[in-house]
Amino acid sequence: MIEAVLFDLDGTLFDRTASVMAGLHRQYARFAEQLQTTPVTDFVARFTVLDERGYVRKAIVYPQLAAEFGWTPGLAQTLCDDYYARYHDECIGFPGLAQTLADLRSLGVKFGLVTNGSEQMQRGVIRALDLEPAFDAILISESEGIRKPDVRIFERALARLGVGAAQTLFVGDHPINDIAGAQGAGMYTAWKRDLHWGECPQADWVIDDLNELIPIVQRISV
């Protein structure tokens, strides 16, 4: 019987790739005069590679871009500051997010969110997507002092929800941080397919869209 569903944020509920792409194009437009010698396609493509899905600090990414494209001194810092200031202007949830949460709630399950990252950045995404009211527990690694895949952050989420691991499904896109970590805590797992990370054969289920969670939860709860 499933009593709770725990979610990762980036790449699972929050379409970070689409959001960052939209943000980069808007940033380029704001600084078009300073960036006119750098084609927008090159700017976005190199940022995407250097950023590594958000695992590389922008204080490293922008200076590397400046070195490669020969920008004027100080532009890298200006763009880095602008990136963080405007990051939450472009927060795109995956299709079916609100409806999936509503449908799962109708099944009587509790919701938890477990995400790595800074409190300010992740909390801003959560608020931009209006997720706070839907979740019974939200754990952000910076505030918790523990990062996925450390099993303790998953166990802490279970404790806050008052549920057991065997009655919980974890949904995430990262094969190690999300799936292996949650399995280490004894949970069922559903991998939201992201081929950037390769494959994830160890997951109990593989989904492409969030609404695929409904029949999974119903099946386990029989």
pLDDT tens track of the chain, all 222 residues? 899 999 999 999 999 999 999 999 999 999 999 999 999 999 999 999 999 999 999 999 999 999 999 998 899 999 999 999 999 999 999 999 999 999 999 999 999 999 999 999 999 999 999 999 999 999 999 999 999 999 999 999 999 999 999 999 999 999 999 999 999 999 999 999 999 899 999 999 999 999 999 999 999 876
Are 111 and 136 in contact by the 8 Å Cβ rule? The answer is yes
Predicted pLDDT at 91? 97
Domain end, chosen from 55, 89, 123, is at 89
Domain end, chosen from 66, 89, 112, is at 89
Nearest to 195 by CA among 53, 41, 21: 53
Looking at the fold, whether 136 and 179 belong to one and the same domain comes out as: yes
Looking at the fold, whether 84 and 130 belong to one and the same domain comes out as: no
Looking at the fold, whether 110 and 209 belong to one and the same domain comes out as: yes
Looking at the fold, whether 124 and 85 belong to one and the same domain comes out as: no
Looking at the fold, whether 116 and 176 belong to one and the same domain comes out as: yes
Domain end, chosen from 54, 70, 89, is at 89
CATH number reported for the structural domain that contains residue 141 in this entry? 3.40.50.1000
Q: Within a 10 A sphere around the Cβ of 137, how many other Cβ atoms?
A: 19
Structural domain of 46: 16-89
Looking at the fold, whether 37 and 146 belong to one and the same domain comes out as: no
Are 104 and 213 in contact by the 8 Å Cβ rule? The answer is yes
